[in-house]
Amino acid sequence: MANLELKKNIFGRLSDGTEIELYTVNNGKMSFSSTNYGCTLTSIMLPTAKGAFVDVLLGFSTLDGWVGDGYCFGTGVGRFANRIGGASFTLDGKKYQLDDNDSGRTLHGGFTRWEKKVWNHKEVETKYGRGVEYSRVSPDGEQGFPGNLSAKQIFTLSEDNILTLEYFATTDAPTPISITNHAYFNLKGYDGGTIRDQEAMFNADTVLEIKEDHLPTGKILNVEGTPFDFRTPRLISSQIEKLPFGFDDCFCVNGFDEKDFKLRDFGYVKDPASGRKMSVRTTQPGVQFYTANFLDGVKGKNGHPYGKQEALCLETQGYPDAPNKSEFPNSILRPGETYHQVTQYVFEF
């Protein structure tokens, strides 16, 4: 890993004086940066044809932006990504009431978000590359979830342009878990405008059926003949125009098997104009494809206002509302078990 350079700088200080770090890992061709405030990916720099670099990740120029952010730009999400219906679930005969932060639902963990926590951090080298390990204990009752949960998120870069996100957790009581990262990508650059003219291909024959409240019904639908059919490369615009508002849907990863832990190729997005391409591999059962339908002019990096559908998210995760859907892949972590998931973003330019 001789070509992988890691630098650490002070990113800023919170109002209580806590110092926040920013790590940057560079392989000589591309780089990514992340911070221990919320396990947040702050930038991904890819080369241009003119020898410069473009940042393909939405976010902010300073720590203050993330402190005040409500859109989860690049943040680590837990204990349970996406939505839980009724802001509650029943486990082993006991009902648990969660934070209701989304009109009767729990979204991305509720009010006490992991993205607003300061995480322990250290430099690491793994089989996937060089980077940073972030860790903290989510105490029993945080967000309403049971059990003291020891969580780790490891971000590494390889010499061949693969950004790997690894998630680990153990618990002292049974608890639901689904960790993801909420990165907003635009392969044209964070100020490049709409992603509707970008190309996508997903290895997903099925998608979760959802109700108007975005909660899954429990049914899994075939994508053939629907706007969700990206099994062959398509411009996002050709499909998004068939929907009233945009994509915010969980696609089922082809070939997923709970008993077979392996990275599976989910698909890719590509910017035809620049040729930049990002492929996704994951051990998770689902990928939430979200086209930034709710961005409404929030000022981001260098003051650029982010508008509707100026980014896309590919959030690898367990199925939403899985704690209330026994037919979905298991989402419960129990004492003595280790939660471990891996996601890779593979960049070509």
The pLDDT tens digits of the residues spanning 45-59 come to 999 999 999 999 999
Express each pLDDT in 316-329 by its tens digit: 999 999 999 999 99
pLDDT given at position 138: 98
pLDDT given at position 1: 80
| C-alpha closest to that of 252 among 235, 274, 230 | 230
Express each pLDDT in 239-279 by its tens digit: 999 999 999 999 999 999 999 999 999 999 999 999 999 99
Rounded mean pLDDT of the chain? 97
Residue 64 pLDDT class (50, 70, 90 cuts): very high
pLDDT given at position 86: 98
The tally of CA atoms less than 13 A away on the side-chain side of residue 349 is 24
Express each pLDDT in 162-186 by its tens digit: 999 999 999 999 999 999 999 999 9
Tell me the catalytic residues.
Answer: 182, 315
Asked if residue 303 has pLDDT above 90, the reply is yes
d(CA 196, CA 209): 23
Express each pLDDT in 216-240 by its tens digit: 999 999 999 999 999 999 999 999 9
| C-alpha closest to that of 320 among 102, 2, 43 | 102
Query: What would the two tokens of residue 54 be?
Result: 């473009």
Asked if residue 2 has pLDDT above 80, the reply is no
Identity at 276, one-letter amino acid code: R
For 159-221, the three-class secondary structure string (H helix, E strand, C coil) is CCCEEEEEEEEEECCCEECECEECCCECCCCCCCCCCCCCEEEECCCEEEEECCCCCEEEEEE
| Residue whose token pair is 């947040």 | 40
Mean pLDDT of the region 8-24: 98
For the chain, give the percent of residues with pLDDT over 70: 100
Mean pLDDT of the region 282-309: 97
| Residue whose token pair is 């800023």 | 12
Asked if residue 340 has pLDDT above 90, the reply is yes
Cβ neighbours of residue 184 under 8 Å, at least 6 residues apart?
57, 58, 59, 71, 73, 74, 292, 306, 311, 312, 313
Express each pLDDT in 78-121 by its tens digit: 999 999 999 999 999 999 999 999 999 999 999 999 999 999 99
pLDDT given at position 227: 98
pLDDT given at position 130: 98
Mean pLDDT of the region 283-296: 97
- pTM confidence score: 0.98
Express each pLDDT in 142-160 by its tens digit: 999 999 999 999 999 999 9
pLDDT given at position 173: 98
